[in-house]
Structure 1
Amino acid sequence: MASFLHDAHPRLEAAFVAMLDESLAPRDPSMLLATVRSLDLPPDSMAVDVGCGEGAHAFRLAAHFGLRVLGIDPVQRHLDLAREARRSEPEVVASRVSFERGTADRIPLRDASVDLVWCRDTLAHAPSLASAFREFARVLRPGGRALVHQVLATDLLAPEEADWLFPVLGVVPASVDLDTTEGAISHSGLVVDASVDLGSEWGEHEEETSGRSSRALLHVARLQRDPERYREAFGDAAYDVMLGECLWQVYGMLGKLTSRVHLLRRP
């Protein structure tokens, strides 16, 4: 190894770096919309956006596919911002979208009333994956689909790192555990039509197009080098949340966290 470092590696390094700078063509979040398009849902099909945040995905589903969309979120501020954003949408889109309070395990819709459950970046916060997937199955019509994007922990995530990512719990929660996820889906009655492991692809795409992940790494370095600067300015709770959010992105690039997309169907 020592001779390789001093002799062969310097001659390979430039070519190696050049190859590393070549994109591996990572997939990006638009693949979710492409998946919805492939389902060929008729206009005015009913969709629910679970964990809708400020409504961006709900508006896209209505604009791209003519779906009627109910966005649900447990955070009132998110709902207020989504309803405000709705006022700026074209009438043909705004008339198809509404927002209500709800959670993954408590969707305010009747049994068998939904053609599509859209759930992106939400289940990491779910108290019970089993309850969430059962609720998806409850509201879906026979033949209805659930498109679910999750971030999951891998074996590379050390137990002590859970303190940074999940400061309130101090442990890796079941909501980001692969075995728990697969068990919850299996017991929900939903059928897995497709399951795609993305690894770091979305993070790579973000890095290639905007440099967001590398910025997160810079922020982690600053947060850890001078924590008191940020604790004094914003408080301990805000510091812990910000460190966790930045590490979430960095760990996704390092393989400590991974992304997976499930396309599920109610038989």
Structure 2
Amino acid sequence: MAWDREFLYDTYPRIEEAFSARLDESLAPRDPSVLLQVVRELGLRPDSRVVDVGCGEGTYAFRLATHFGLRVLGIDPVQRHLDLAREVRRDVVPEIASRVSFERGSATRVPTADASIDLVWCRDVMVHVAHPEDAYAEFARVLRPGGHVVGYQVVATDLLPREEADWLFAVMGVVPDSADPAVLDRAIAVSGLEVVDTIDLASEWGEWSEEQEGRASRALLHLARLLREPERYRAEFGDEAYDVMLGDCRWHVHRMEGKLAGRIDVLRRPGGG
């Protein structure tokens, strides 16, 4: 739209307050619990076997065991994550602790037998996998016929300029192709897994966290400070830590801008009842 003096200084001021008030109304964004709702709708029986790929400190492994009575193997390539998860496990009630274990593994090397798993849970991992087709093929290998994958990740959108993506992905350990929705779609297609549903969350999780905790506005404030006085923070924490913090702040801001978008994939291995 071309600049219009009359609209900008006469028409728009008459509606600006109402427009702003409307934008203050929540669009009821979905929150991360939608992932657990997806699992609930699968109707898994108690004691069904689950692999939590990229389990980190075990947060969702324990939730899956607690909410649904599932037996969960959390796998992660980072030893520190496994150590922390096992430490948490020692403080969990025995009924839940007995259902959860942790081992070294990755999206392309899942330490379980063929056709032995009912659910593969994979959150915020695929963007770090160099060859997602290998990961989905591995998921298909370990799943029983009729078993499911519930995966979540952030993908790049057409709004993210290439130069911004190059810097951000390098700092955050993201494989550029693996953040491309088309690449993921092709990887899923050749894996033999069926697509049950693909849920486009766009900026919803970012909006939710902003409404609940002010996370995005805090990230924006931190970003402004990092950019205004970089040497202050580089001197105290080092160049590498500075770049990671800068990348993390930009990641949260880009999610709100629509340059990055959340996506849930619900997949199924053919066969079964």
**Which TM bucket (shorter chain)?**
over 0.9
Report if aligned partners of 1:164, 1:243 keep a CA contact under 8 Å in 2: no
Does residue 73 (structure 1) correspond to residue 89 (structure 2)? The answer is: no
* Distance apart, 1:164 and its partner CA: 3.2
Task: Show the counterpart of 2:8.
Answer: 5
Report the CA distance shift for 1:125/1:172 in structure 2 as closer, same or farther (over 3 A): closer
Q: How does 1:237-252 map to 2 (within 5 A)?
A: 237-252=240-255
Q: State the aligned residue count.
A: 267
* Distance apart, 1:172 and its partner CA: 6.4
Report the CA distance shift for 1:172/1:3 in structure 2 as closer, same or farther (over 3 A): farther
Does residue 187 (structure 1) correspond to residue 180 (structure 2)? The answer is: no
Alpha-carbon distance between aligned partners in 1 of 2:68 and 2:100, rounded to the nearest angstrom:
12
Does residue 151 (structure 1) correspond to residue 154 (structure 2)? The answer is: yes
Does residue 19 (structure 1) correspond to residue 14 (structure 2)? The answer is: no
Alpha-carbon distance between aligned partners in 2 of 1:153 and 1:118, rounded to the nearest angstrom:
21
Task: Show the counterpart of 1:94.
Answer: 97
* Distance apart, 1:169 and its partner CA: 9.0
Task: Show the counterpart of 1:32.
Answer: 35
Alpha-carbon distance between aligned partners in 1 of 2:62 and 2:164, rounded to the nearest angstrom:
36
Alpha-carbon distance between aligned partners in 2 of 1:62 and 1:255, rounded to the nearest angstrom:
33
Unaligned runs of 5+ in 2: none
Report if aligned partners of 2:130, 2:175 keep a CA contact under 8 Å in 1: no
* Distance apart, 1:72 and its partner CA: 0.5
Task: Show the counterpart of 2:55.
Answer: 52
Alpha-carbon distance between aligned partners in 1 of 2:112 and 2:89, rounded to the nearest angstrom:
21
Q: Secondary structure at the match of 1:24?
A: coil
How far does the alpha carbon of each residue in 1:79-136 deviate from its partner, in whole angstroms, 9 at most, with x for none? Answer: 0000000011111100000001111111111111100000011111112111111111
Task: Show the counterpart of 1:64.
Answer: 67
* Distance apart, 1:237 and its partner CA: 1.1
Task: Show the counterpart of 1:82.
Answer: 85
Q: Secondary structure at the match of 1:5?
A: helix
Q: Secondary structure at the match of 1:155?
A: coil
Report if aligned partners of 1:162, 1:171 keep a CA contact under 8 Å in 2: no
Q: Secondary structure at the match of 1:117?
A: strand
Q: Secondary structure at the match of 2:170?
A: coil
Alpha-carbon distance between aligned partners in 2 of 1:184 and 1:163, rounded to the nearest angstrom:
22
Task: Show the counterpart of 2:109.
Answer: 106
How far does the alpha carbon of each residue in 1:58-89 deviate from its partner, in whole angstroms, 9 at most, with x for none? Answer: 00000000000000011111100000000111
Task: Show the counterpart of 1:235.
Answer: 238
Q: Secondary structure at the match of 1:218?
A: helix
Report the CA distance shift for 1:30/1:167 in structure 2 as closer, same or farther (over 3 A): same
Alpha-carbon distance between aligned partners in 1 of 2:173 and 2:263, rounded to the nearest angstrom:
24
Alpha-carbon distance between aligned partners in 2 of 1:92 and 1:148, rounded to the nearest angstrom:
26
How far does the alpha carbon of each residue in 1:158-207 deviate from its partner, in whole angstroms, 9 at most, with x for none? Answer: 11102431235999611101111000000000000001101000000000
Q: Residue 82 of structure 2 aligns to which amino acid in structure 1?
A: L
Q: Secondary structure at the match of 1:239?
A: helix
Report if aligned partners of 1:159, 1:171 keep a CA contact under 8 Å in 2: no
RMSD, aligned α-carbons: 1.4
Alpha-carbon distance between aligned partners in 2 of 1:262 and 1:170, rounded to the nearest angstrom:
22
Identity of aligned residues (%): 65
- TM-score, length-scaled by structure 1: 0.97
Report if aligned partners of 2:128, 2:174 keep a CA contact under 8 Å in 1: no
Report if aligned partners of 2:140, 2:269 keep a CA contact under 8 Å in 1: yes
Report the CA distance shift for 1:172/1:141 in structure 2 as closer, same or farther (over 3 A): closer
* Distance apart, 1:228 and its partner CA: 1.1
Task: Show the counterpart of 2:131.
Answer: 128
Alpha-carbon distance between aligned partners in 1 of 2:131 and 2:223, rounded to the nearest angstrom:
30
Alpha-carbon distance between aligned partners in 2 of 1:106 and 1:83, rounded to the nearest angstrom:
20
- TM-score, length-scaled by structure 2: 0.95
